[in-house]
Structure 1
Amino acid sequence: MVNLPSDHRLTEVALPPAERPATDLAAREGADVAAPQAPISGPDPLDDPDALRAGDAAAMETLLRAYVRETGTEVPATGQALLLNLSASQLTLLVPVRYRSATGWHRFDGPRLVTAGDGGSLPADAALVAAALIRETTLGRGVLPHHGGDAAARVLNSARRTTTHIARRRAEGEDAQGPTPFLDSEQALLLGHPFHPAPKSREEASDAELDAYSPELRGSFPLHWFAAHPDVVVGESADGRTPAELLRPLAAGLDLPDGMVPVPAHPWQARDVLSRPQVAALVDAGRLRPLGAAGPAWYPTSSVRTVQRPDAEVMLKLSLGMRITNSRRNNLRSEMRLGVRAAQLLAAGPGDWLRAEHPEFGILRDFAWVSVGTDGPETGLETAIRDNPFRREGLQGLCVAGLLAERTGPGDDTPPRHRALLCAAVERAARALGVSTADASERWLTRYLDVLAVPLIRLQARYGIALEPHHQNTLVALDGDGLPCAGWYRDSQGYYLAASRTADIERLLPGATEGVELVFDDTFVDERVAYYLGINNLLGLVGAFGALGLADEGGLLRVLRSALERLRTAEPAGKGLLDLLLDAPVLRCKGNYLTCVDGLDELVGDVHTQSVYVNLSNPLTEAQR
């Protein structure tokens, strides 16, 4: 936890009756909701007709949400106001609470700066709030304040990008959709991660480039291709196919010199890597030849660097050195080797077990990779090759982060028809089942646990294989009633093997743990899964239901607790993780705000220290059985 100055105090301030709106979001949308603590409404800052003010409000809300979580600041009840006395700047911020969440997904109205002496207040903007909070954090931790300048700049960069996303989507109209349901959900994260201070920070690219590269702007672009001599091409695949065999179908129509191998790159990366000495030397020697942009358009998914084409057999996770949020998204060969090893490991038995026990759940494999340059560090031309089951026809996986992502109104000071894709799905389920929205929400959560959480926990219990299923790494398909009917996990970076199960895995696949960072202490694995699956995914889902006005979080926490208790009885080998989730008074939680302030790149360094972790009170311990 952060050591804050002694006068960092919480004060509850009641809002005047005129500032307490009469109806909640769900009521405005005609939904039947029984929520004892529904969000207060009245104009939502996200719906401000001025896209700049709406983007600024979104930036302040995610920043404040992350700040209060990671500093242990208690948030008062809905309709009260949080008073932050920031002694390092001699400022006081008054923050009206639109909705107080049991799981931390609070909603705030625009902060106000309390003026000295007269008791009045002035509106605060993202620049002031970011500077004041970050200064409070740096000085409270004994760090000079100028160390927070980079973090503050990223908050403002994110706010600017968010403003652009809002303005563009409003110009489209509310009924606009992406090319496919899969891509529509990938393009839905207009405001970004709800617990990150700079969720849409994208540095070093121009506005024109980001028009093409941003999923929120429905960007698309042809890949940039290089022709590489076979001697300098490296890579591997889980099924034995060579990089050339995998890539040639994607490069159909490319004017490829005889005997050369096509190697793809993100167009921004293609320009950047030419200045890297190892790549420049290959070009000078004629072993690598830039061919330029060619072929059909690919669409960036929510991670920006992974691209999909609805008619392609695979997705491509491209290396991208642009700093996005806290990290430069360069692919590491060690991570890509881990993806191939994980695919081989699944094929040795666990994959068949999953299909038999949970046919509705699947893992999208990063089953191959390719690059150029045989010696030394990464060249920046590393590409991972991923399964793509989401074609134009067939079952469509929807990114869970996209399902929960908040929308803003159409720009006339009114709310959107549905605040998130999840709202539309639950409303459809309530109509189909003839139940209230709150009941439909509980059924939605129960089905979600069945198709996604239970298979993940049972895989860890059975084989010791654990994953990092945060919202952006998980997908669900919805049936005709709007309820989850299938789930998937993706991302080669997020694999762990509990040390106690190493011998079992080596019997399944001899050499499975050699040359890759896969084996970790059991306690560490449980701690990380408790964050990614427990806090980020499951508690985050409960918080989203509450903040969107769909259901009472207390009831959903009881549903979640009951399901996990049943699973603990059925899967004794999962007891370590489930005891942690159900009984630990605090859980370790990744601190995106503190990681940003500290300037850490989460993709660099030892996995134990890549990010800052803090203690978070566990709301499941308080849920009634």
Structure 2
Amino acid sequence: MDRVHLNPPPAADVAERADAHSVAPLLNCLLREVAEPHPAPGSERRVYRLRGSGRLLRVLGGRRPAEPEVRADGAWQRIGHAELVKLVADELRHHTGLSNHELPAEMIDSRAALAALLTARARATPPADPYLRSEQCLLTGHPHHPAPKARGGGPVAAWLPYAPEAHARFPLTLLGLREDAVVEEGDTSALDAFGEAPPGYRLLPAHPWQLDLVGRELADAFADGRLVRLGTTGFDAWPTAAIRTLYVPEHTPGGDLFLKFSLDVRITNDIRRLWRHDLLKLRRTDAAASRAFATGPAAWLSDRGYRTADFAFEELAVLVRDGFHGHLLPGATPILAAGLVEGFEGGTLGDTDWWEAYLRAVVPPALAAFADHGVVLEAHLQNTLVAVDSEGIPVQALFRDAEGVKLLPEVSREAGWERLVYTLVVNHLCELAAALAERHPGLDPWPAVRRELARHDLPEIPALLSAPTLPGKTNLLLRWTGADGAAARYLPLPNPLAG
């Protein structure tokens, strides 16, 4: 990663910031999933009763709650992240009747990883490109996950060189894969421009962290010649917010592209492998999404194809995704939606006009994909990019990740709509609206959202605008109960659209 010569931040400052960044999403989970508001007349802090134990907890702030205090012995006692982890674990044991030793360790690992990221980030040079800055700014990360920065518990030295939050950039490892062991589907021709393979071999780029993780499993393949090492690429790739998805700026006549790799590490809810069952259905889901975005200003970044080895199908898989070349409107700059919520340097959260332009860019294509093509986008903050003009006004939305797409009628319309409402409204618009209201006190973002949704003739819209609740995902309970990360479970949240 690039470095500048700065004095390292004081350890006390790093500890305080790591605690604050780690406490906020954990509190969001706890308060959403296993707590209820408790009357607190005249208090500037919000008070909650924890359902399992009956204990009272109070916090400061709104979308990023801070300074948790527990009521004990007739007084409020401040607790830090370590004490909060213990409280959450105890509360979940009361609430579910289950024990879980893995999740508290992940919470602690997430906070330790954040401290390492803050230290490294202070010494690193942020990229000049505002798009890359938006991808690499997510210090808080998922605002409703108990351990958003956990990196599998491995040593810092193993993962820090590949961390987007530390402004990493690095070359890819190049492997030669014997032709009789190649498995591929779709258009992977861009990979062949990364170097030169020896006769009888095809190029297979690998994420160096993944290769470190699974290297022992590949010893026989290197020994018998099915794999050979060919050095590294002559260019750097930039890790995006997804960590295992890398951006490769223009290096061939075909333009820029993204590469998505397997990464045998749990990040948020899942081990981030390119699973065989997902790869085998990818061409179908990607084709459906591509058709849904064939016209109009919005764009779909196509997952063109994948290449891998028949003896390490998931471990060595690499997915080729469209870059921005040929998709962006002239003069527009893409920005990750999650970066706007995080508040990255150079990002703009404008006034009402800006917000209305944002909604016009993002909402219609997501609803049209559902209504006209049966495509359920996973339109959350990390899968949505918004292109802005020279004045910072949103003019175009770009969506990505066919792996997260669901198709009707493979899922029911009801289930598909619930998923779209969660990803687009709860995970995306609610978070951005809260950040907007925080940035512009007195601005009510919800009338504009209601007007934009009401313009669309979907039978589900009237109920969405009048329902008392919206579906909120239960990431804390999902992880505590050991449920599969894809098995979304929802609980009702107050619906700001209902006015």
**Which of the numbers 429, 432, 439 marks the counterpart of 1:549?**
439
Q: How far apart are residue 108 of structure 1 and its match? A: 2.6
Tell me the secondary structure at the aligned position of residue 212 of structure 1: helix
Matches within 5 A, 1:156-555: 156-171=108-123, 177-237=126-186, 241=187, 243=188, 245-250=189-194, 252=195, 254=196, 256-276=197-217, 279-312=218-251, 313-346=256-289, 349-352=291-294, 355=295, 358-359=296-297, 361-373=298-310, 378-389=313-324, 395-406=332-343, 420-421=344-345, 425-426=348-349, 429=350, 440=351, 442-499=352-409, 519-546=410-437, 548-552=438-442, 555=444
Whole-angstrom CA distance in 2 between matches of 1:182 and 1:76? 44
Q: Which amino acid aligns with 1:350?
A: A
* Structure with greater Cα Rg: 1
1:583 aligned onto 2:466: yes
Q: Secondary structure at the residue paired with 1:111?
A: strand
CA offset digits 1:16-59 (Å, max 9, x no partner): xxxxxxxxxxxxxxxxxxxxxxxxxxxxxxx9971201211221
Q: Partners of 1:310 and 1:48 in 2: how far apart? A: 36
Q: Matches of 1:150 and 1:336 in 2, distance apart?
A: 29
Q: Aligned residue for 2:476?
A: 593
For 2:463 and 2:358, the matched residues in 1 are separated by 21
What CA distance in whole angstroms lies between the structure 1 residues aligned with 2:448 and 2:164?
34
Contact persistence 1:86–1:132 (CA under 8 A):
no
Instruction: Please tell me the residue identity of whatever aligns with 2:459.
Output: K
Distance 2:436 2:111 in 1: 25
Distance 1:466 1:182 in 2: 26
Task: State the SS of the aligned residue for 1:73.
Answer: strand
Q: TM-score, structure 1 length as denominator?
A: 0.72
CA contact (8 A) 1:398 1:477 kept: yes
What residue ranges of structure 1 are gaps of 5+ in the alignment?
A: 1-46, 100-104, 407-419, 430-439, 500-518
Q: Deviations over 1:559-608 (max 9, x none)?
A: 111211122xxx3xx222x2342122223221111122223341xxxx5x
In structure 2, do the counterparts of structure 1 residues 220 and 390 end up closer, same or farther at CA, with 3 Å as the change threshold? farther
**Which range moves more in the overlay, 183-192 or 48-57?**
48-57
Q: Supply the distance in 1 between the matched residues of 2:57 and 2:407 (Cα, whole angstroms).
A: 46
Q: Is the CA contact (8 Å cut-off) linking 1:200 and 1:325 kept in structure 2?
A: yes
Matched residue of 1:210: which SS? helix
Q: Which has the larger displacement, 60-69 or 377-386?
A: 377-386
Q: Give the whole-Å Cα distance in 2 for the aligned partners of 1:550 and 1:403.
A: 14
Whether contact under 8 Å (1:302, 1:472) holds in the other structure is yes
Distance in 1 separating the partners of 2:276 and 2:51 = 46
Residues 101-151 of structure 1 deviation map (CA, whole Å, 9 limit, x = unaligned): xxxx3x3331234442xx4444311111111122212222122xxx23211
Contact 1:86 1:133 in 2 (8 A): no
Letter in 1 for 2:488: S
Q: What amino acid does structure 1 have at the position aligned with 2:448? A: V
The alpha-carbon distance between structure 1 residues 155 and 93, as it changes in their structure 2 partners (threshold 3 A), is farther
Contact 1:590 1:612 in 2 (8 A): yes
Q: Is the 8 A contact 2:289 2:369 kept in 1?
A: no
- Say if 2:53 and 2:94, in contact at 8 Å, map to a contact too: no
Residue 128 of structure 1: aligned partner: 83
Instruction: Give the match's secondary structure for 1:575.
Output: coil
CA distance in 2, matches of 1:456, 1:447: 15
Structure 2: distance between partners of 1:49 and 1:283: 47
Give the structure, 1 or 2, with the largest relative contact order (CA under 8 Å, sep 6 or more): 1
Alpha-carbon distance in structure 1 between the residues aligned to 2:59 and 2:52 = 22
The question of whether the paired residues in 2 share the 8 Å contact of 1:581 and 1:620 is answered with: yes
Question: Would you say the 8 A contact 1:402–1:421 is kept in 2?
Answer: no
Q: Identity percentage over the alignment?
A: 29
Q: In the alignment, is the contact (CA less than 8 A) between 1:89 and 1:132 conserved in 2?
A: no
Alpha carbons 2:293, 2:369 under 8 Å: kept: no
Q: 1:394 to 1:157 in 2, by over 3 A?
A: farther
CA distance in 1, matches of 2:38, 2:425: 21
Q: Is the 8 A contact 2:471 2:493 kept in 1?
A: yes
Deviation at 1:545, TM superposition (A): 1.6
Question: 1:331 offset after TM fit, Å?
Answer: 0.4
Answer whether contact 1:79 1:98 (CA < 8 A) is retained: no
Question: How many residues are matched?
Answer: 483
**Code of the aligned partner of 1:344:** A
Code of the residue aligned with 1:400 in structure 2: it is A
How far apart are residue 228 of structure 1 and its match?
Answer: 1.0
**Distance change >3 Å, CA 125–CA 161, structure 1 → 2:** same
Report the equivalent of 1:24. none
2:491 matched to 1:617? no
Cα distance, 1:285 vs. partner?
A: 3.2
Displacement of 1:345: 3.4
Distance 1:301 1:76 in 2: 42
User: Is the 8 Å Cα contact of residues 333 and 382 (structure 1) preserved in structure 2?
Assistant: no
Letter in 1 for 2:20: A
1:556-575 matched pairs, under 5 angstroms: 556-567=445-456, 571=457, 574-575=458-459
Change (3 A) 1:615 1:346: closer
Give the superposition deviation at 1:295.
2.9
Q: Which runs of 5+ in 2 are unaligned?
A: 1-9
> Cα RMSD (Å) of the superposition?
2.8
